[in-house]
Structure 1
Amino acid sequence: MSKNTTRVALVTGASSGIGEATAERLAKVGYKVYGTSRRGGQPGQRSFEMLSLDVTSDESVEAAVREIIRREGRIDLLVNNAGFSVAPGGAEESSVEQAKAIFDTNFFGIVRMTRAVVPHMRKQGSGRIINMGSVLGILPMPYGALYSATKHALEGYSESLDHELRTRGIRVSIIEPAYTKTPFDSHFLEPDSKLDVYHAVRADVTKRIKEVMETADQPSIVADVVLKVALAEHPKPRYTAGKLAARLRLLRRFAPASLLDVGLRKDLRLEA
């Protein structure tokens, strides 16, 4: 790719939070950025264009990618950020339909985006895919089993994909933030099969998460890591974002399982 060629980036879930901060950061350093959300462009001043895209729809994904290729002729960077979670609750409090819904966005949405973009990256002989994971992709989250499961799945998918595509000039990385100040938690879906037996612990875990969010990282911290990965000559398969995420990654790697187990329950103020 010529140094004079404008790099084109596609960022999903860019209407707010990490996605918006990432799109702004990329635009600031010269990328031609297309952000997406299900609602498309909303009022407000942005340095990038918003397109309508629903990652749960094959037709919507293909149409948005086709439009960017029509305009720009290439896509150099795909940032898969769109996602949601179910509010804290027992795993059995979510129906199979709700489990399918969160996987359809958080995991299969990324599969759809990848399948739509990779052929164009292969043709141009270069490209980069950055998937927004979570420390919950390497750690369990009691009363957050479904969200954790989607992020665990994304870890395996991303690393396998990177092995497959690197010989074609395409690299894939996953970013693992911890708690981040975004509207994400205000958009939680409530478990759709609530049980009285979980009422108290559901309330306690929700309260604890709200406390932790008061001191959470700003989206810009994650956006800076995305930029670092996008520009890295030899990107790594995974990156943490923020000090807490880095500590948790080290604990997961080196701490005895029993110690990690105790620490996790203590932090969430769960009974031993």
Structure 2
Amino acid sequence: MKTTSPQVALVTGASSGIGKAATLTLADAGFTVIGTSRDTSRIAPGNGVTFLDLDVTSDESVAGVVEQVLDRFGRLDVLVNNAGIGGNGAAEEFSVAQTQNVFDVNVFGLIRMTKAVLPHMRARGSGRIINVSSVAGFVPNPFMANYVATKHAVEGYSESLDHEVREHGVRVLRVQPGPVNTPFDANQVQADTPLAVYAHRRGVFEDVMRETMRGGDDPAVVAKVIAAAATDPKPKLRYTAGSTASRVSVLRRILPARAFDKSVRKLNRMGR
């Protein structure tokens, strides 16, 4: 009797939050799952998920992990690019070097992973690369300009790449969560050159961000959408995840630009 091995999924940034939930949901869906993080020694083993150390900012680390997965499992069907960091502060308060660090994780880390798995997926004639973007990929957010810029970059890169590789059986899909109840806000990179002129507004933003995150969706909500993107027979180009993301996506499309701009400022407790 002919048997087929389970599909293999690799999830970056899997130590907590969305990434951790995604590993569990994909495992429940029948995937062999490899979760990665900079330091997996702190992750309790279990649930049938294999964990590997990975630094997405290192070419050598990325190449080594992908090679290890292929050597051990013989295939890689789904890559979930979830690893990312936030940035808290006015754009003027971030040095260029610090901004480059945020881009190195959120954009170039994703590109490194994608380039490492594409040759294998093309050769097999199948595969899905699922990039965890954000509502910040299509809407602005004051005091998060650098983070928002990275997500806009992920959106453009993903959609363009999908056109290039689709004829080779590979799809590049985007999952766009809204606020998620994770420690994301507490782990953001803080601006390295803070300016007094922005201090008050930055403090207001931090309050808004804290309230928004605590009222956000459970990571399992996003994980379920990631699993759908990994398994849908006819995948969508993008998947909004959670009620806020869906609502904001609709408002962005139907509201006049001036009205949407006003709503962003009101949400962030800013003046006219």
Q: What range describes the TM-score normalised by the shorter chain of this pair?
A: over 0.9
SS in 1 for 2:40: coil
Q: Tell whether 2:180 aligns with 1:168.
A: no
Look up the equivalent residue of 2:212 and give its one-letter code.
V
Name the counterpart of 2:25: 25
Does 178-187 or 57-66 show the bigger shift?
A: 178-187
Q: Tell me if the contact between 1:55 and 1:112 (Cα under 8 Å) persists in the aligned partners.
A: yes
Q: Aligned-pair distance for 1:3? A: 7.4
CA gap 1:216/1:160 in 2 versus in 1, 3 angstroms: same
Q: Tell me if the contact between 2:8 and 2:77 (Cα under 8 Å) persists in the aligned partners.
A: yes
Count of residue correspondences = 270
SS in 1 for 2:193: coil
Name the counterpart of 1:67: 68
Q: 5+ unaligned residues in a row in structure 1: which ranges?
A: none
CA gap 1:43/1:233 in 2 versus in 1, 3 angstroms: closer
SS in 2 for 1:193: coil
Q: Aligned-pair distance for 1:259? A: 0.6
Look up the equivalent residue of 1:95 and give its one-letter code.
S
Name the counterpart of 1:244: 244
**Residue deviations 1:29-65, cap 9 Å, x none?**
2110000001124242432011000000000000000
Name the counterpart of 2:44: 44
Name the counterpart of 1:11: 11
Name the counterpart of 2:105: 105
Name the counterpart of 2:203: 203
Q: Tell whether 2:78 aligns with 1:77.
A: yes
CA gap 1:249/1:168 in 2 versus in 1, 3 angstroms: same
Name the counterpart of 2:114: 114
SS in 1 for 2:143: coil
Q: Tell me if the contact between 2:173 and 2:236 (Cα under 8 Å) persists in the aligned partners.
A: yes
Look up the equivalent residue of 2:25 and give its one-letter code.
R
Q: Tell me if the contact between 2:6 and 2:30 (Cα under 8 Å) persists in the aligned partners.
A: yes
For residues 151-162 of structure 1, the aligned pairs below 5 Å read 151-162=151-162
Does 2-11 or 163-172 show the bigger shift?
A: 2-11
Find the aligned partners of 2:41 and 2:235 in 1 and give their Cα distance. 31
Q: Tell me if the contact between 2:185 and 2:209 (Cα under 8 Å) persists in the aligned partners.
A: no
Does 130-139 or 37-46 show the bigger shift?
A: 37-46
Find the aligned partners of 1:75 and 1:232 in 2 and give their Cα distance. 17
**With structure 1 as the length reference, what TM-score do the two structures score?**
0.97
Look up the equivalent residue of 2:85 and give its one-letter code.
F
Find the aligned partners of 1:108 and 1:3 in 2 and give their Cα distance. 38
Name the counterpart of 2:256: 256
Q: Tell me if the contact between 1:41 and 1:51 (Cα under 8 Å) persists in the aligned partners.
A: no
Q: Tell me if the contact between 2:82 and 2:131 (Cα under 8 Å) persists in the aligned partners.
A: yes
Q: Aligned-pair distance for 1:236? A: 1.4
**With structure 2 as the length reference, what TM-score do the two structures score?**
0.97
Q: Tell me if the contact between 2:181 and 2:216 (Cα under 8 Å) persists in the aligned partners.
A: yes
Find the aligned partners of 1:151 and 1:11 in 2 and give their Cα distance. 18
SS in 2 for 1:107: helix
Q: Tell me if the contact between 2:122 and 2:168 (Cα under 8 Å) persists in the aligned partners.
A: yes
**Residue deviations 1:83-140, cap 9 Å, x none?**
00112x2110000001100000000000000000010101111000000000010001
Find the aligned partners of 2:53 and 2:45 in 1 and give their Cα distance. 17
Name the counterpart of 1:124: 124
Percent of counterpart pairs with the same letter?
49
SS in 1 for 2:86: coil
Name the counterpart of 2:181: 181
Find the aligned partners of 1:267 and 1:72 in 2 and give their Cα distance. 47
RMSD of aligned alpha carbons: 1.1
Find the aligned partners of 1:265 and 1:12 in 2 and give their Cα distance. 33
Q: Aligned-pair distance for 1:211? A: 1.4
Look up the equivalent residue of 2:34 and give its one-letter code.
Y
Q: Tell me if the contact between 1:41 and 1:49 (Cα under 8 Å) persists in the aligned partners.
A: no
Find the aligned partners of 1:169 and 1:139 in 2 and give their Cα distance. 31
Name the counterpart of 1:193: 193
